[in-house]
Structure 1
Amino acid sequence: MKRILLAAALGLAFAGTASAAALTYKIDPNHTDVVVGWSHFGFSNPIAHFGKVDGTITYDPAKPAASSVQVTIPLSGLNSHVPDFDEHLKSADFFDAEKFPTITFKSTKVEAAGEKKLKVSGDLTVHGVTKPAVLDVTINKIGEQPMAKRAAAGFDASTTLKRSDFGLGKYAPNVSDEVSIRITTEALVPKPEAKK
């Protein structure tokens, strides 16, 4: 009887370790949005969305410091819901999307910051300029995505940046230099590759 109980205890311990193992997830662009907001002369607070996000998230719940994030945001996914304004933002006045077609973020450090909270530091490259950025992250859910039938992870994140740090300071301070960034993302463990 003792052997059976010991075997059961070891099995439970192993199962707990397995569920807490680090997994690498592929960002689902259909359930990911990057929202940037700013003040326009103090009268309004417009926003723009960046879709088509691509990247990977490695998350280790047992050891957050072993986690990492790598993301690419194509400027082709920029959408303010005002087509003329989108073209202006993509022009040389701002992002110069023809010369710098993507925004990238690569983490350099991940720290636990409380229950279901992380602090993710990394290198953000916008408009050809790389600066450090820190994201305050909330872990929404880790588990099986019921439609995909695969392991999934969901996170929200936020930060505030100065656009002038990246050479995008046109019209400041009338159009605020500081911009708020909110991110929501769902990511899935990739499907196993089909055997050849």
Structure 2
Amino acid sequence: MLIRSLALTTALVSAPLAAQADWTLDPSHTSIMFSVNHLGFSDTIGFFESFDGDVTFDANNIPATEVSFTIDAASINTLWEARDAHIRNADFLDVENHPAITFVSTSVEQTSDTTAIITGDMTLRGVTQEVTFDASLNQLAPNPFNPTQGVAGFTITGEVDRTAFGIDFGAPVIGAIIPVTINTELNAPAALIN
């Protein structure tokens, strides 16, 4: 989902890469995690199991970077099946009527050699709102076990206000502001890393 898209954008804005880079998401080293405060007593941790993303990038024209991602809303997992079933129903994600969570970038702003702010439109449960994510490049280098393979690793963080998307159930005692953390690796031919 969001991963390849958001992460790749950061790498491309913050590291010297070839103008046309064909990076692919490594799903075995990618996670989309979130937490929800429960009544002030604890934070419930969850993640999505199914997602994909795309990016169009020109190293000579960073503002023209385009990022999109899609998450399978039904793939939510909080490690408690009864809770997951509730989150999938109309009180929360309503996956029967809104099976996908999407993000489409509207701007990418480089903030340092290794960081960027990615702004875009998120659509959740049929409602579209502007959100921003902070992206950090962890490392861009050849894979030490396969020098012909380039790897870019990122951490992406942000917050999503679920009530802005009409998901009001239990708020505010069940947290309305949802912190999101994405860790990802992207792969490409090592020749793309200058």
Is this a same-fold pair by TM over 0.5? yes
Task: Measure the CA separation in 2 of the matches of 1:114 and 1:87.
Answer: 42
What's the counterpart of residue 184 of structure 1? 183
TM-score by length of 2: 0.79
| 1:23-65 CA-partner distances (Å, limit 9, x unpaired) | 1423233222111112111100111101222112345566532
- Could you tell me which of 64, 70, 73 is aligned with 2:71? 73
> Bigger radius of gyration, 1 or 2?
1
| Bigger mean CA deviation after superposition, 135-144 or 148-157 | 148-157
Task: Measure the CA separation in 2 of the matches of 1:124 and 1:92.
Answer: 19
- Could you tell me which of 132, 139, 142 is aligned with 1:141? 139
TM-score by length of 1: 0.79
Task: Measure the CA separation in 2 of the matches of 1:121 and 1:20.
Answer: 23
* Correspondences of 1:11-26 after superposition (within 5 Å): 19-26=17-24
| Bigger mean CA deviation after superposition, 78-87 or 142-151 | 142-151
Letter in 2 for 1:107: S
Shift in Å at residue 147 of structure 1?
5.6
- Could you tell me which of 116, 123, 130 is aligned with 1:125? 123
Letter in 1 for 2:182: I
Moved over 3 A (4+): 57-64, 143-152
Shift in Å at residue 146 of structure 1?
5.0
- Higher RCO (CA-CA < 8 Å; seq separation 6+): 2
Question: Root-mean-square deviation (CA), in Å?
Answer: 2.2
Matched, 1:158 2:157: yes
Structure 1 unaligned residues grouped into runs of 5+: 1-17, 191-196
Structure 2 unaligned residues grouped into runs of 5+: 1-15, 190-194
What's the counterpart of residue 12 of structure 2? none
- Are the equivalent residues in 2 in contact too, given 1:40–1:174 (CA < 8 A)? yes
The percentage of counterpart residues that share the same residue type is: 33
